[in-house]
Amino acid sequence: MTFTRITVDPAVMAGMPTLRGLRIPVATVVAMVADGMTTEEVLADLPDLEVEDIQEALRYAAEGLRERHLPLQPSA
């Protein structure tokens, strides 16, 4: 899978993955969606973004979870 809107630059946000080189971390956008914000609300808060940025941020996060094992609390 290729990500064309995700950039990593040590000079921007200490190398965090951001969207299109903007100082908007992918993690921030994913957290906003996780907190229940709609695409329209995210775009209103971050007007430099485009719908495709949000979609790619979510795909990037999903791909990151496929590549790593995260510690989870055992089910009861």
The CATH number of the domain where 52 resides is what? 1.10.10.10
* 72 in Cβ contact with 29 (< 8 Å): no
Q: What is the pLDDT along the chain (76 residues), one digit of tens a residue?
A: 789 999 999 999 999 999 999 999 999 999 999 999 999 999 999 999 999 999 999 999 999 888 776 666 666 5
Q: Which two tokens stand for residue 42?
A: 């995210």
Residue 1 confidence (pLDDT) = 74
**Is 75 a domain residue?**
no
**Domain ranges, residue 56:** 6-67
**Is 72 a domain residue?**
no
Q: Maximum Cα–Cα distance for the chain, whole Å?
A: 44
**Is 37 a domain residue?**
yes
Number of domains in the chain: 1
The DSSP call for residue 35 is T
The DSSP call for residue 14 is G
Q: What is the pTM of this model?
A: 0.86
**Is 76 a domain residue?**
no
**Is 33 a domain residue?**
yes
Residue 65 confidence (pLDDT) = 86
**Is 53 a domain residue?**
yes
